[in-house]
Amino acid sequence: MEDVVFMFPGVGVQNTGMGKSFYDNFKIVRETFEQASDILKRDIAQMCFMNSQKEKLFELANSQSALLTVCVAMHKVFVKETGIIPKYSMGHSLGEYSALCSAGAIEFSQALKLVEIRSEIITEVSKTMDGVMMWVINIDRQTIEEVCCEESKNENKVFISAFDSPSQFSISGDRNNVMKVAKQLEGKGALIYPLKMNGPFHSQLMYKATEKFKSELINYRFCEFKYPVISNMTGLPYDTSENIVDNLSLQLMKPIKWTSFIEFLENEGIERAIEIDPKNNLKYLMEKNTENIKTFSVENIADLSFVKTKSLNQSNEQNLELIGRCLGAIISTKNNNEDDDKYNKGATRCNMKSIA
């Protein structure tokens, strides 16, 4: 296990052609796609790779299952090719399912079914309201909290639905209310980007979805973690697999605490992150949060080779450092040999062997 974290993306990074280089070169990827297609009763490879399927790919149910399939397949290849086992794993919103699969806490077949149910429930609940979600960039946390709080006094509640970095957030709520808040924030220098999502996701307006999804989650059995996964809901690692039901259901109505993820990792001394993502979006977020964690993105097989080389080089550097410390200890060890001539001859032979 290495001092590294695996990162998986959420909906929004899906694109036609994602995972294609892995699919073309690795049997295990094709098998993963076939498994997903058999379970979901639709051709996931066709949806991911054909331009004619682009509109279908961006439908919520399809984008979630397709992205999960691509990330799980890429993760299988990455681990097989590099042998890297992380100290932690984490995912942004939907990406938490990929993270849980990577850690063995949820079987891929189960995750596909759960993601399918999840998308059906949030789509159904979202249709009962005119909700929306927007990115807010170039603003500080205190300002966005004050504006949202002021607007919510009139029961026109607008929620911060993601804390992505010290200057990037998302807000969710009723469309008209969110537009009012967005206009105020723009006046304070913020940049606003509407998301292609018709729902107030990761806000309290999704409480009915939380209740419905929890009633489905309790029917599943989960496994022990091979390594810890950080929860979107708490910003901290799961205690046990028994927390999965509560964490995944509450995730629907709680904000994503990405900045808390990064703070936790820094406190744990993590210095490397590997993003398994068809669009390297999380590397950008990491750079906005900290300079202390170097991120490597795995988007295609060329990236795989690069990360593998970097990992091996880091291992060699660590080995050399260890050897240096050992030699330092030898050099500083007092000579307790009664015969100085024999001791010096031994040291000379040792030095000659080292040079050779």
C-alpha distances (whole Å) from 226 to each of 85, 101, 107, 167, 259 are 9, 10, 12, 34, 24
Between CA 235 and CA 148 the distance in angstroms is: 22
In this structure, what are the phi and psi dihedrals at residue 332, rounded to the nearest 5 degrees? Answer: -85, 0
What's 250's DSSP letter?
H
Name residue 323's amino acid: I
Based on the number of CB atoms within 10 Å of its own CB, is 291 exposed (0-12), middle (13-18) or buried (19 or more)?
exposed
Question: Which tokens in the block code for residue 261?
Answer: 């993820």
C-alpha distances (whole Å) from 277 to each of 50, 65, 70, 253, 299 are 19, 14, 9, 24, 6
Instruction: Give CA torsion, residues 4, 284, 299, 257, to 10 deg.
Output: 60
Marked catalytic residue, from 202, 203, 249, 311: 202
Q: How many residues does the chain have?
A: 356
158-165 sheet: strands from edge to edge:
158-165, 168-174, 131-137, 191-194
In this structure, what are the phi and psi dihedrals at residue 245, rounded to the nearest 5 degrees? Answer: -60, -50
Name residue 6's amino acid: F
Marked catalytic residue, from 93, 102, 126, 172: 93
202 is annotated as an active-site residue: yes
Residues designated as active site: 93, 202
